[in-house]
Amino acid sequence: MKEPDQRRFPFSPFPIGWYWVEFSENVKKGQLQSKTWLGQRTVYWRDDHGKVCLANAMCPHLGANLSPSFGGKLEEGLLVCPFHGLRYNTTGQCVHSPVGELSRPVSLKTFPVCETGGVIFAYWHPEGLEPEWSVPDLDDGDWSRFVYSAREIRTHPQETSENGVDITHLPYVHGYSNVESLEPLHIDGHYLRNRFRLTRLVGPSKHLCMKLDVHATVSMWGVGYSMIEPVMQDAGLYIRQLALCTPIDGEKVNFVMAMQMKDVERPNVLMPGLGLMPKRLLNALLLKIFFKVYVQDISQDFDIWENKQYLIYPRLDASESSIIHFRRYCEQFYTSVE
């Protein structure tokens, strides 16, 4: 495995926190999967009771690789080692050995997992400590299913999250207008919130488009989990966007963009005549349009993230003080042992 590129950033490539693993619909019973996650080769699966496990792909018995490409498999919801046939459950415990009862306990290194709203997250701490906070509940509310896309980028989750407080780049990079902060940056332990408003045109031309006057709330839990909630109250339009940045190998991250929305309440406010469409068709169409816009907007940041240099002492304007507060917030997600 390639060594992490420590020259770009003066901090660990693997901050403490909750990180995306997969979407629930892609983790089916009886299917063992593997990926590099925060610098480790891992396996993950769903047992016969529906519980998901993410574990280090090394068997603690004699070091065999448990990935399916090297012979690891599932039997009756248990992970089976290809070397000696030891079987592990989703808590990581060895529950069966073909040679009989082992003289000492054997267990996999597993990570705390949370599954909510059709998304699977796992918690990373360099010392293996238990989670100090929880991810938000995404099951509550009358939301659509998530649509999503992903891209591997050479950057760091702190860099991508910093965009959530850097509203001065929104007009220049993304073409938003009337961008205005609505309240000072709010920080409460592992949670950060930023609120602002903006105007955004969505459509093929200035003459055929929806003008959205949006109030947006950016919420962060750590640096790998951001949720953006654009609201257009006049139209009764409520959207939830996830920006999930998961380190892969210390140099690249897996950046996941996901979106869901509620049924729009007053569609004619967005564009006259929209209310004539069947409700189900209209909401599916709007979700498709808004998600395409979301991905296009975020994609405008990719080249910047991949090629920018992290400055420890940036020359910031007084109006950009939220970036300094954000960086102080981030300090809690690193330890001296990293």
Centroid of chain to Cα 233? 26
Mean pLDDT (whole number) for 65-85:
97
Mean pLDDT for 189-201 is 95
C-alpha closest to that of 112 among 84, 92, 86 = 92
Q: Mean of the pLDDT values across residues 224-235?
A: 96
Cα Rg for the chain, rounded, in angstroms? 22
Tokens of 69: 């490409």
Q: Averaged over 141-156, what is the pLDDT?
A: 95
Which residues have C-beta within 8 Å of that of residue 313, sequence separation ≥ 6? none
User: What number is the average pLDDT over the span 221-235?
Assistant: 96
pLDDT reported for residue 81: 97
Neighbours of 49 (CB within 10 A): 9
Residue 5 pLDDT class (50, 70, 90 cuts): very low
Cβ(241)–Cβ(230) below 8 Å: yes
The whole-angstrom separation of Cα 214 and Cα 198 is 5
pLDDT band per the 50, 70, 90 thresholds, residue 4: very low
Where does the pLDDT of residue 101 fall: very low under 50, low under 70, confident under 90, or very high at 90 and above?
confident
pLDDT greater than 90 at residue 118:
yes
Rounded to two decimals, the pTM is 0.93
Reduced to 3 states (helix: H, G, I; strand: E, B; else coil), residue 322 is helix
Q: CA–CA distance from 4 to each of 18, 38, 41, 176, 255 (Å)?
A: 20, 11, 15, 36, 18
Three-state DSSP class for residue 291? helix
The per-residue pLDDT for 202 is 80
DSSP conformational letter for 82: T
What is the structure's pLDDT at 225?
Answer: 98
* Residue 47: per-residue pLDDT: 96
Name the residue type at position 241.
Q
Given a cut of 80, whether residue 185 has pLDDT beyond it is yes
Q: What angle do CA 126, 131, 136 make, to 5 degrees?
A: 130
pLDDT tens digits for 12-46?
Answer: 999 999 999 999 999 999 999 999 999 999 999 99
Q: What is the mean pLDDT of the chain?
A: 93
Percent of the chain with pLDDT over 90: 86
Is residue 204 scored above 50 in pLDDT?
Answer: yes
Identify the pLDDT of residue 2: 46
- Does position 161 have pLDDT exceeding 80, yes or no? yes
Task: Give the amino acid at 275.
Answer: G
- How are strands ordered across the β-sheet holding 78-80? 73-75, 78-80, 87-88, 94-96
Structural domains of the chain, with CATH: 17-124 (2.102.10.10), 147-332 (3.90.380.10)
Q: What is the pLDDT of residue 205?
A: 61
Would you state the structure tokens that stand for residue 113, as one six-digit string?
A: 């997992």
Percent of the chain with pLDDT over 70: 96
* The pLDDT value given to residue 136: 94
